[in-house]
Amino acid sequence: MIVLGIETSCDETAAAVVTDAREIRANVVLSQLDEHTPYGGVVPEIAARAHLEYLDGLIRQALDTAGLRLSDLDAIAATGGPGLIGGVIVGVMTAKAMAAASGLPFVAVNHLEGHALTARLTDGVDFPYLLLLVSGGHCQLLAVEGVGRYRRLGTTIDDAVGEAFDKTAKLLGLGYPGGPQVERAAAKATDPGRFELPRPMLGRPGCDFSFSGLKAAVRRLVEELPQPLSEADRNDLAAAFQATVAEVMADRCKRAIRAFRADHPDGTALVVAGGVAANKTLRARLSALAAREGLRFVAPPLGLCTDNAAMIAWAGIERLRLGDSDALDFAPRPRWPLDPTARPAIGRDGVGAGRKA
Ligand code: KG4
Ligand code: ZN
């Protein structure tokens, strides 16, 4: 089975060709970084227009790289949500048009399911596994029991972790997107232990996350330092932030591993996915945790952690193999939780938050 994947839910326009033998025949990603950088974040309207402008060319490029024509494909898969709706509409409409013109099946893929199943494409991981999904809009721990079968064990009660990286980068005067910039600055820290930050949720029951207090603490520290920040201050702060995030993540994952194992003694791995999974400090920390817990640790290669279309094609293949596809009247979804039964996380004040869920 050979499937074309299309991804347009945020600020990456991407097309890929993947086979059910776990072969990535083409994987083209065009980052819209230059378009959004002047605004310090993704501007939805600009993103949608850029997807519209570049997507056709990228699909052609992916097919050319794979040496295939439309008629050689078995299906077209596109991100159907969640994400910035203008972009999702561009990808879904393009995929539907191609499916209608060729008579091929169309699959509307949940972007989060794309991230969630990537480890099966890259490493052939078997169900069930524990997934830490960490991106710009999401921060969740999920038991992945099968295709379309996800049980949420924890989520953030405020910001997503990628968002915390991006906001911290902004506070430190680093560019956008923040994650890679913070990682680069932290690597240059001369005194990484100089600043101490609060470690939100550390040791608390459950597996939920919180990052807004950490961000506020970074802001306070920045305000106390001489302006503009020296490079040394900036690097040391970035290192403190990154180390704190990794420590909190490891704590939450440790609890999740215990909860996951109680229900799934046959659990195969701790898998990390999403853009923040590209962070090497976080990967090292989680890898050590998994080793201590006697669990296999799987982290996809960096380019398949951040947004891409190979994961969308693969998730499409997983669903097609189960005989599943979508009708051409599928409506793009700005929100689309992987575990629709999960309740909002309970915040410190006892009020449900979980707005990112
Ligand atoms: O999965 P993704 O590419 O897009 C979403 O679906 O959100 O994730 C993007 C997020 C951004 O917040 C970005 O700052 C973060 O992932 N990110 C990183 C790193 N690379 C990307 N965060 C920490 N360290 C990195 N190396
Ligand atoms: Zn993503």
Contact 5, 18 (CB under 8 A): yes
The pLDDT assigned to 346 comes to 58
Ion ligand 2: residues, Cβ under 5 Å: 135, 307
* Same fold? 2-116+304-321, 127-301+343-353: yes
**Percentage with pLDDT > 90 across the chain:** 85
Give the binding-site residues of ligand 1, using a 6 Å CB cut-off: 10, 135-137, 162, 165-166, 177-180, 183, 274-276, 278-279, 306-307
pTM score, whole prediction: 0.93
The pLDDT assigned to 203 comes to 86
Alpha-carbon gap, residue 58 to 29, rounded angstroms: 8
Write out the two tokens for 55.
Answer: 């997507």
Superfamily of the domain at 127-301+343-353: ATPase, nucleotide binding domain (3.30.420.40)
- Amino acid letter at 133? L
- Mean pLDDT within 50-71: 96
- Ligand 1 atom nearest residue 177's Cα: 14
Question: How many degrees, rounded to 5, is the angle at CA 12 between CA 238 and CA 79?
Answer: 120
State the CB neighbour count (10 A cutoff) for residue 268: 17
pLDDT digit string (tens) for 271-296? 999 999 999 999 999 999 999 999 99
Write out the two tokens for 309.
Answer: 């279309």
Ligand nearest the Cα of residue 183 is 1
- Amino acid letter at 256? A
31 band by pLDDT with thresholds 50, 70 and 90 = confident
Task: Provide the mean pLDDT of the chain.
Answer: 93
The pLDDT assigned to 357 comes to 35
Ligand nearest the Cα of residue 12 is 1
Contact 150, 338 (CB under 8 A): yes
Domains of the chain, residue spans: 2-116+304-321, 127-301+343-353
pLDDT digit string (tens) for 126-150? 999 999 999 988 899 999 999 999 9
Contact 132, 160 (CB under 8 A): no
Write out the two tokens for 250.
Answer: 């490891």
Alpha-carbon gap, residue 18 to 102, rounded angstroms: 18
User: What class is the 2-116+304-321 domain?
Assistant: alpha beta
Alpha-carbon gap, residue 269 to 146, rounded angstroms: 14
- Ligand 1 atom nearest residue 12's Cα: 3
Is residue 352 over pLDDT 90? no
Contact 271, 260 (CB under 8 A): no
- Mean pLDDT within 157-177: 92
